[in-house]
Copies of this chain bind each other. A is one copy, B any other.
Amino acid sequence: MSSPDAKRLKTDDDAAYELIYWPGIPGRGEFVRLLFEEAGVSYTDHAREDGDVSVALKYISAENIGDASNPPILAPPILKHGDLIINQLPNILLYLAPKLGLVPTEGDGLFHLNQIVLSLLDGFVNELHETHHPTATSLYYEDQKPEAKKRSKYFLAERIPKFLGYVQRLLDSKASGEGPWLYGGKLTYADLVLFQCLDGTQFAFPKSIKKQQDSGNYDGVFKLYEAVKELPNIGKYLASERRVAYADGIYRHYPELEED
């Protein structure tokens, strides 16, 4: 039922947070989880609690044209907060971070954080995904192995140093402030994103990341990774069974992709 009031969404802070994502992989959903876990906010994780893909499929079905207040959804992760339904990972993070106290409280910092997060996700999620699926997402990895090998070669030789170098530049900038953090001298959601980016990339390409770490060119980046890992709430989460193991999602370990 659509009413003139339907546009007024209930999104007060008392509303429950629901994350809808694919079960069995950390994937893009994991970035959202890290924000909730660090903030110590409870959330419904449909991937874990339902254990199947039915909720996610319902949202992205071609027959689902949204409702009077919410446009239809292309793909998970999806966030439901009260009556509001949104998707697209950087968008969900941008919505949540101020509510969860993970951004500066004044100025235009949110746009700087959004640009940092978009850049991190470009390199360590979107481009990384292309290393095992350079031809088509609809094909199995096994059906695009020669192309994946070529793509990975350039990704590891050129793109990884480019993106690690960018993160180190962020840390070398005055705008990063004091301490190990990326922006404004305080922990923000960009730090959590960087952690998961590096953690996943390390899982996929352990030798290559070790080599980059040993180069000494990105010491700040790896120090930041450790600083996030040592946050009490994040530490507890990583040790819990809520933390999903890597599998055949974005971050996959195919040893042949990093062998010379």
Contact = CB atoms under 8 A, between A and B. Distances in A.
A254 interface: no
A216 B71 CA distance: 22
Interface in A148-194: 150-151, 154, 158, 165-166, 169-170, 172-176, 182-183
B151 A65 contact: no
Contacts of A24: none
A215 interface: no
B74 A119 contact: yes
Given A134-B147, A135-B147, A150-B135, A65 B111 contact: no
A186 to B, nearest CB: 12
A114 to B, nearest CB: 5
Contacts of A75: 119
A84 B62 contact: no
Given A68-B175, A69-B175, A151 B170 contact: no
Interface stretch (A48-56, A85-93, A200-208): A85-93
A166 to B, nearest CB: 5
Contact of A95 (B90, B111, B165, B182): B111
A84 B11 CA distance: 30
B84 A108 contact: yes
A97 to B, nearest CB: 12
B71 A94 contact: no
Given A134-B134, A134-B151, A154-B139, A91 B111 contact: yes
Given A71-B183, A134-B134, 12 more contacts: A70-B112, A71-B173, A74-B119, A86-B111, A87-B115, A91-B114, A91-B115, A130-B130, A134-B135, A135-B150, A135-B151, A136-B154
Interface of A: 2, 7-9, 11, 62, 64-72, 74-75, 84, 86-88, 90-91, 94-95, 107-108, 111-112, 114-116, 118-119, 126, 130, 134-136, 138-139, 147, 150-151, 154, 158, 165-166, 169-170, 172-176, 182-183
